[in-house]
Structure 1
Amino acid sequence: MKELEWRLLKKLIPQKSVRSIYEIDVQALWDTGIRGIITDLDNTLVGAKHPEATPELLAWLKALQTIGFRVVIVSNNTRLRVSRFSEPLSIPYIFRAKKPGNAAFRKAMSIMSLAPNETVVIGDQMLTDVLGGNRLGLFTILVTPIEPGDEGFFTKINRRIEKAALLWMKRRGMMEWEDRRP
């Protein structure tokens, strides 16, 4: 049973954990062969209730573009929320993605014309972003949620499950990354 538990929980463990997207060394990602970024929107790029990009985010996205990264926003949120954010930035997006399901991640890679070994997933949830990316063999980066109290019903449930999984992993010495969540 322990081997099965480990295999299942391993899918929740990101390859990297950072406080925010701004701590990610994007040049190092590029140097390892990563060419595309699948990113969550709410509480990853901006707070869940913020309709547009901050000046800091615009600069980060410009840096990605300068390096040569392709970016697709993949969100479980509605078309209205995701399109209002993404379209002014001319970033392709997938709404109601049903993460951690495979379809949206595969579609995002198809949009970017990239393979799993060339793609990173960045998100704030282990049960959607990390699990979905890991299931397809993508490099996964977990960020601390920008505004963790400002979330929907299902996200709040996911956060409780996440907290229990983190505690379980920590007690068994299974975490190979530092949990920086508040």
Structure 2
Amino acid sequence: MRILLPKAYYANIYEIDYTTLYRNGYRGILFDIDNTLVPYDQLVPDAKLVAFFGKLKTMGFSISLLSNNSAKRVRRFNKDLKVLAYHRAQKPRRVTLEKAMKAMGTDKGSTIIVGDQLFTDVWAGNRLGIKTILVMPIQEKEQLITRIKRSTEKRILKAFHEKGIKNNLE
């Protein structure tokens, strides 16, 4: 079960301490899109997210979007963000994460992945050996397959909380 344990857990992407991450040598961020950055049915980022990505880039981070969704969805979403973006990433497979890290010029020790699902985002990052940050899903309305996985995720997270997950950014 350790393969599903995130290194840190936050309510949303805005609560993560990116300054500490940068100070600790992290330079690349892999973001999931659906229910991590926006609700899964929101087609484009809002102004707050566009500004936030601008701030992260100014800090010195390279950013990639990694989505299991379609090319059309990812391209449309990335139009205003203008970052590296990968569709049909096949998470939890590692191959697209490795491709993104190579394109960003980062490695396992300088990259984090931020997502809302244990069985895709966290599992993929842990399999690759990069820091994993889990955020709460933005909304409960989701695709059927994700709803099925969520009940198992909730039981796993409850067990982790009982053991004391800490937000460890070191």
Give runs of ≥4 in structure 1 deviating > 3 Å.
167-170
Shift of 1:175: 4.0
Alignment of 1:174 onto 2:166: no
- Aligned counterpart for 1:161 among listed residues 144, 147, 152: 152
Distance between the aligned counterparts of 1:156 and 1:11, measured in 2? 21
Alignment of 1:59 onto 2:51: yes
Measured against aligned partners, the alpha-carbon deviations of 1:39-92 in whole angstroms (never above 9, x if no partner) come to 000011111111111121112111101101000000011111111001332111
- Aligned counterpart for 2:103 among listed residues 105, 108, 111: 111
Name the SS for the 2:30 alignment partner: strand
> Computing the radius of gyration over CA atoms, which structure comes out larger, 1 or 2?
1
- Aligned counterpart for 2:124 among listed residues 98, 123, 132: 132
Q: Taking every aligned residue pair, what percent have the same amino acid on both sides?
A: 39
TM-score by length of 2: 0.93
Do the aligned residues in 2 keep the contact of 1:13 with 1:175 (CA within 8 Å)?
no
Do the aligned residues in 1 keep the contact of 2:28 with 2:112 (CA within 8 Å)?
yes
Measured against aligned partners, the alpha-carbon deviations of 1:103-153 in whole angstroms (never above 9, x if no partner) come to 11111111111111000000000111011101111111101111122x112
Which 5+ residue runs of structure 1 have no aligned equivalent?
1-8
Name the SS for the 1:142 alignment partner: strand
Query: Which residue number in structure 2 is paired with residue 79 of structure 1?
Result: 71
Distance between the aligned counterparts of 2:137 and 2:148, measured in 1? 15
TM-score by length of 1: 0.87
Query: Which residue number in structure 2 is paired with residue 12 of structure 1?
Result: 4
Shift of 1:168: 4.0
Alignment of 1:88 onto 2:80: yes
Number of aligned residue pairs: give it. 167
Distance between the aligned counterparts of 2:31 and 2:39, measured in 1? 14
Name the SS for the 1:53 alignment partner: coil
